[in-house]
């Protein structure tokens, strides 16, 4: 079976983080979010993967994943020149897929559960498609499945009055039948070919769509708040390790991960879950965590950071409390004075702030 990962789109809800690259390369627990999709596929034996690229930063995707060798997979890049919807992107994969069943992952979906049982059920079935559903608190934000007696009756995109709270996740087991269906679709009000419309048309043509309920963690990381929350959950589910160095009088509690060549200096307090990347320096008096990631090659001085994502090559030298923030690669924050106040940042790549 082959896999497809959608890596396009503009990520407008995540600006300024996405001004310089695709949202799917934004790190969660110091790893691009789309890499979790790659690993989910690889874990169930799917190693021939097509990545749909388009929009800002397509070359960055190619630079990071290459031909797939470093991930022990094979990658084929398929370009979507214009953002014409998920169904349109899937249609572009027809030649890549051929006559096989296949798995589609939206590149900004994070799921913890291993999908092997779902894959086996789908491969052994004669259904046209199989989708994963997850109960959500805000169903009007999602495509929703109306399910009665274990059968999907209807799929509705962002309904005002949702019949259930079962959201259609961005993970689809599909057959080549879907290509014929997409050929018959008409663009939606936003001039896109919608995957929910394609699935609904399958139902209307009396094809069967099976489903599985995901009770474990799943997140569509469309907003900064979603990314920060996913960061927290992923770190919580990692195995702790300490590969760096620490001086005396360092306080570490909870699940903490420190990578190679990072130095934690005397007087630092870390409350997990926290992950600190490679080649970082955490200076005396800094407090980090909980629910925080620090990217590679970052230098952190004086501050108190909680529930935040600091990406790689950042330098923070300021006596402030950073809360609920995302600070992108190569950014710096400094201050000459003692501030000791609380700040929330959403900083794009290369931002320089002097307080």
Domain boundaries, the chain: 2-229, 238-354
Fold of 2-229: Spore Coat Polysaccharide Biosynthesis Protein SpsA; Chain A (3.90.550)
Q: Is the pLDDT of residue 324 over 70?
A: yes
**Given the DSSP bridges, would you call strands 129-135 and 166-174 parallel, antiparallel or unpaired?**
antiparallel
Q: Is the pLDDT of residue 98 over 80?
A: yes
pLDDT given at position 10: 61
DSSP 94: H
pLDDT given at position 219: 87
Q: Is the pLDDT of residue 325 over 90?
A: yes
Burial environment of residue 267 by CB neighbours within 10 A (0 to 12, 13 to 18, 19 or more): middle
Fold of 238-354: UDP N-Acetylglucosamine Acyltransferase; domain 1 (2.160.10)
pTM: 0.91
Hey, what are 174's tokens? 């599909």
State percent of the chain over pLDDT 90.
Answer: 79
pLDDT given at position 253: 96
Name the pLDDT band for 335 (thresholds 50, 70, 90).
Answer: confident
Give the separation between CA 193 and CA 306, rounded to whole angstroms: 40
Give the separation between CA 218 and CA 132, rounded to whole angstroms: 10
Which stretches within 264-311 are classed as H helix?
none
Decide if 292 contacts 310 (C-beta within 8 A).
yes
Q: Does residue 321 have a cis peptide bond before it, meaning omega lies within 30 degrees of 0?
A: no
> Which of residues 21 and 109 earns the better pLDDT score?
109
Decide if 329 contacts 295 (C-beta within 8 A).
yes
| Average pLDDT of the segment spanning 82-99 | 93
Q: How does pLDDT run across 127-173, given as a tens digit for each residue?
A: 999 999 999 988 888 889 999 888 999 999 888 888 899 999 999 99
Q: How does pLDDT run across 184-229, given as a tens digit for each residue?
A: 999 888 888 999 999 999 999 999 999 999 999 998 888 899 999 9
Matching residue, tokens 């600190």: 276
Q: How does pLDDT run across 28-57, given as a tens digit for each residue?
A: 999 999 999 999 999 999 999 999 998 778
> Which of residues 21 and 110 earns the better pLDDT score?
110
């Amino acid at each position: 079976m082959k896999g497809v990962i959608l890596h396009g789109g503009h990520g407008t809800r995540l600006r300024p983080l996405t001004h310089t690259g695709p949202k799917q390369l934004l790190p969660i627990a110091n790893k691009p979010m789309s890499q979790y999709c790659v690993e989910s596929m690889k874990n169930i034996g799917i190693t021939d993967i097509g990545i749909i690229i388009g929009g800002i930063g397509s070359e960055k995707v190619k630079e990071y994943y290459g031909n797939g060798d470093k991930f022990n997979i094979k990658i084929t890049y398929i370009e979507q020149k214009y953002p014409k919807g998920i169904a349109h992107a899937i249609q572009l994969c027809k030649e890549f897929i051929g006559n096989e069943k296949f798995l589609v992952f939206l590149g900004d979906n994070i799921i913890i559960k291993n999908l092997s049982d779902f894959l086996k059920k789908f491969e052994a079935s004669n259904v046209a498609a199989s989708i994963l559903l997850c109960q959500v608190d805000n169903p009007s934000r999602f495509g929703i499945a109306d399910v009665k007696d274990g059968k999907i009756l209807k799929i509705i995109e962002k309904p005002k009055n949702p019949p259930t709270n079962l959201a259609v996740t961005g993970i689809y087991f599909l057959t080549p039948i879907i290509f014929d269906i997409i050929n018959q679709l008409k663009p939606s009000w936003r001039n896109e070919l919608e995957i929910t419309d394609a699935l609904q048309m399958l139902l209307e043509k009396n094809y069967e769509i099976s489903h599985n309920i995901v009770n474990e963690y799943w997140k569509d990381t469309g907003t900064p708040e979603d990314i920060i929350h996913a960061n927290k959950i992923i770190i919580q589910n990692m195995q702790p390790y300490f590969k760096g160095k620490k001086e005396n009088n360092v306080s570490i509690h909870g699940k903490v991960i420190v990578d190679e060549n990072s130095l934690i200096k005397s007087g630092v307090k870390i409350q997990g879950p926290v992950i600190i990347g490679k080649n970082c320096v955490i200076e005396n008096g800094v407090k980090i965590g909980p629910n925080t990631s620090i990217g590679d090659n970052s230098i952190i001085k004086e501050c108190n950071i909680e529930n935040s994502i600091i990406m790689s090559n950042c330098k923070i030298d300021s006596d402030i409390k950073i809360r609920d923030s995302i600070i992108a690669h190569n950014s710096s924050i400094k201050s000459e004075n003692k501030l000791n106040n609380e700040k929330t940042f959403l900083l794009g790549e290369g931002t320089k702030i002097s307080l």
